[in-house]
Amino acid sequence: MHSSEKRLNIVNNKINDIIKKKQQKTIPKIIAVTKTHSKDTFLPLLDLGHIHFGENKIQEAESKWPELKEKYKNIQLHMLGKLQSNKAKKAIKLFDYIHSLDNIKLASKLSQFQKELNKKVKIFIQVNLANEPQKSGILLNELEKFYNYCIEELSLNIVGLMCLPPIESGSENYFLSLKKAGEKFNLLEFSMGMSSDYEDAILNGSTFVRIGTDLFGQRNI
């Protein structure tokens, strides 16, 4: 068994233990984050039937995934990193989910190209919960206005919210805040939690966890 398969089993077992203790019905999906990793690293997971994979950069994703998506028809590819508006068309073409919608210009471009390409991707609004100036994301007090604009004016398929809590703070309160914010709009999907904090994220309602290091080891910088 390949090391990535063993690691996936470990993560799955941890998640199943949390689900049992919490007695919740929804099992969060694992996005295997393959940024900077070669195909050889994650091909065993594709052969195993794993569906959800994530990348942070358009150029890297274009070098890996078009051919694989032809071969493995069930792949759901997630754009997780900062997305520039001039890359919106490429993102719509390649990805099935975008987790990092964070401004009106990008929202408008996504709307334009989904119509042009006749393809609707599933989109998460990235929320900057701690008002961190170095991070992207919509502020909580601007979220309702932004969400309504995306839905009513741009007809975007907003399925949920995503956050990156401050590294130096406990994540739990931020996950709770995101869950409450999403419930206000009847959103069902929450992209919360990475290798370092996915257990807390699941306890607080995450439906997608973004796991890289715990599956593939340290990234190749």
The per-residue pLDDT for range 41-55, each reduced to its tens digit, is: 999 999 999 999 999
CA distances from 216 to 8, 35, 195, 201 (A): 9, 10, 11, 20
Q: What is the CATH number of the domain that holds 106?
A: 3.20.20.10
39 within domain boundaries: no
Query: Which tens digit of pLDDT belongs to each residue from 133-180?
Result: 788 899 999 999 999 999 999 999 999 999 998 877 678 899 999 999
219 against 35, higher pLDDT:
35
CA distances from 58 to 17, 80, 115, 203, 209 (A): 35, 10, 20, 31, 20
118 within domain boundaries: yes
| Residue numbers of the domain that contains 106 | 79-214
Number of domains into which the chain is organized: 1
As given in the structure block, the two tokens for residue 184 are 């206000």
Give the span between the Cα atoms of 44 and 27, in whole angstroms: 22
Task: Give the lowest-confidence range in 19-28, 79-88, 146-155.
Answer: 19-28
Give the span between the Cα atoms of 181 and 62, in whole angstroms: 33
Is 184:144 a contact under the CB 8 Å cutoff? Answer: yes
13 within domain boundaries: no
Distance of CA 188 to the CA centre of its chain: 14
131 within domain boundaries: yes
Q: State residue 44's pLDDT score.
A: 95
49 within domain boundaries: no
For the residues 108-133, what does the mean pLDDT come to?
94
Q: Between vectors from CA 199 to CA 198 and to CA 203, what angle results, nearest 5°?
A: 110
134 within domain boundaries: yes
Distance of CA 132 to the CA centre of its chain: 20
43 within domain boundaries: no
